[in-house]
Amino acid sequence: MREKRKIHKAKYIAPNGDVSPLCAKTPKAINMKLESWVNQNEGVTCDKCLKIINWKEQ
């Protein structure tokens, strides 16, 4: 099965393992059943995260 989950860039990683994505306006945990994350720019598929990454690199 192809990976269809949205992949966010991680912004905050909590001690309990919850990860808040870069695209969240306020920190919120990613639902790992539906979505995933990476802590580098490569592999990110979330449009909102990609937009933020692109601003920062300009």
Footprint of Zn ion (CB under 5 A): 8, 21, 23, 46, 48-49
CB of 25 to Zn ion, least distance (A): 11
Q: Six-digit token pair at 30? A: 């990613």
Q: How far apart are CA 5 and CA 3, in angstroms?
A: 6
User: 19 vs 23, which CB is nearer to Zn ion?
Assistant: 23
Distance from first CA to last CA of the chain, Å, rounded?
36
CB of 11 to Zn ion, least distance (A): 9
At residue 12, the 3 state secondary structure works out as strand
CB of 31 to Zn ion, least distance (A): 12
